[in-house]
Amino acid sequence: MNTNHHESHGPSTAPQITLRGPAELADALPFMLGFHPSDSVVLVALHGERGRFGGRVRLGIPRSPHEWSETAEHLAECLVEGCTRRGDRPDAIVVFLCQDPAPGETGRRVMERLRPFSQRLRTACGALDVPVMEALCLSDGLYFSYCCPDSRCCPPDGTPLALSGTSVMAASAAYAGIQVRGSLKDMEARLKPRESDDDPSRPSAQRAALGEAASLLVPKILDAPAGQGRQEVRTTTIALASTLIERLTEPPESPAPRATDSPHDVLTGRAGLTAGRGHVTADAADDARLTTEEAAALILGLQDRDTRDQAAEWMEGPEADGALRLWRALSRRCVAPYQEYAAAPLALAGWVVWSSGDEPSARVALSLALDADPEYLFARLLHQACNEGLDPESLRSCLRRERDTRQAAAAAGDRTTDPGGAGDASDAQGAEQGSGQGPEHGLGQPPEQSRRRAAAPRTRPRVADRPAGPRPRVAAMRATRRGGAGRAPAEAAGAVRRGATAPRSVVVRRAGRRGTRSGE
């Protein structure tokens, strides 16, 4: 089965890998996705008589069994329709259910608990005239087959997975340069807030800094005449981000480089950090180089669409590594109740890694951005483009042109050109046309009109993942326009996002949907 889903469906002279049986299918899954899925359901399309691998979709396993039927139907439709849209309807499907046991639970117990979900997936695929060739449960280092009745090859107590790096698939992937980046849980942990072991008070300090930054920046963005405050915040934010990128790329004083450090680690100042101690220590070193005040100012400043787009220009060259580390660090600083404002740094992190060719990491970051804010248009467009295998060069070219135009105008002293920089990625893709929404406090609109538009209440479908009642940032916007004093810091931050970001089309999740779909 060919694991390269981007190649044409015609005859190919490239080497092919044939997988035989459930064991080799289970071993191939991390190489198809680029990471070890955890707490995930994965559907993989098969094409032709030889079962060539095609598109795949991944979703977090819903916690409630009541959601399994709807989730199964949605996943089956998504995979079949996506493959059909590309001109190659799948002939069969392989289902993977991956979940680690809870404390006191065994792998076999997990398999039995998820058996009804597996059956619903098989029924949903069959309803679309696409049979499920194999359904596997991967748990506790074992694999179980829901389809094979032969206990000699698929015993009821499970079969151990192959040791990492010992299979034919692993050898072929290493030869082809395919990298498995660890588990999905570990990849997401690098982008989520976590308690500080060395300083338990840091989340509280960061929360207070975010509140103070909101009280200072919201009036500048929304209330200054003729957009002067917004421009001032943008200039300050970009300058601070540039300074921090340089700081993160400076070689640390210690620890000293080790013999096992790669040249990239030495050049980027991460020598002695990643070897033997993983990404946790490296990320902690980056966190230590940012103060809570600096992180808060950047998080609030990036809620402005034009500021975020100008920051997206750090997507290649020597600045890309420092920018990625900065966006990750900012994502980890978006503590409660500011989780929603992680959408901007997460989307920027996803854009940088996608631009550098790391699609699996990009999907993880963009999925978390959509978890933080399902309406965030920048993340939605990038997520869709990445999943459809589009070339990021078209967007890179657009950002380069905007950067060159802005720099040329600044050099010529042209004060009539807006220094906001790059247009929104949605403008480059043409996705905002026909959306029925105009810019919210954006360029090309008088500030008075934009403030009225931002303050106006809107009716929209409620996102199922969120609690009932009015959303804090909408209420905050109304309070801001009334000049309400003493509002909560989270409400002030909400006013920034509603008043100074790009218009976003509403995404309505199905009831109870957990996680974000990551498919190709």
Distance CA 399, CA 411 (A): 18
Q: Which of 338, 367, 386, 361 is nearest to 495 (CA)?
A: 338
CA 318 to chain centre: 23
Distance CA 206, CA 222 (A): 23
Greatest distance between any 2 Cα atoms in the chain = 78
Read off φ and ψ for residue 36, nearest 5 degrees: -85, 110
Q: Which of 335, 325, 224 is nearest to 269 (CA)?
A: 325
Alpha-carbon torsion (504, 505, 508, 513), positive or negative? negative
Specify the higher pLDDT residue, 259 or 405: 405
- Containing H/E element for 440? none
Please write the tens of the pLDDT for every residue from 324-380.
Answer: 999 999 999 999 999 999 999 999 999 999 999 889 899 999 999 999 999 999 999
| SS3 at position 1 | coil
Q: How confident is the model at residue 462 (pLDDT cuts 50, 70, 90)?
A: very low
CA 469 to chain centre: 27
Q: Which of 250, 283, 254 is nearest to 269 (CA)?
A: 250
Distance CA 448, CA 92 (A): 57
State how beta strands 132-139 and 52-60 pair: unpaired
Which range (149-163, 184-198, 294-308, 457-471) has the least confidence? Answer: 457-471
Cis peptide before 255 (omega within 30 of 0): yes
Cα separation values, 235 from 14, 312, 324, Å: 50, 15, 20
Q: Which of 118, 98, 59, 6 is nearest to 519 (CA)?
A: 59
From the number of C-beta atoms within 10 Å of its C-beta (0-12, 13-18, 19+), residue 225 rates as exposed
For the cut 90, the answer to whether the pLDDT of residue 79 exceeds it is: yes
Please write the tens of the pLDDT for every residue from 255-279.
Answer: 444 444 444 443 344 444 433 346 7
For the cut 80, the answer to whether the pLDDT of residue 436 exceeds it is: no
CA atoms within 13 A on the CB side of 251: 12
pLDDT, mean of residues 99-111: 93
Cis peptide before 252 (omega within 30 of 0): no
Q: Which of 354, 239, 336, 244 is nearest to 289 (CA)?
A: 244
DSSP class of 258: -
Structure tokens, 55: 């598109």
Percent of the chain at pLDDT > 90 equals 44
Structure tokens, 13: 């002279």
Structure tokens, 193: 């807030």
DSSP class of 304: S
Structure tokens, 118: 């597996």
Which range (44-53, 149-158, 427-436) has the least confidence? Answer: 427-436
Looking at every residue in the chain, the average pLDDT score rounds to 74
DSSP class of 403: H
pLDDT, mean of residues 193-210: 76
Which range (157-166, 212-221, 434-443) has the least confidence? Answer: 434-443
Structure tokens, 53: 């691998």
pLDDT, mean of residues 39-51: 90
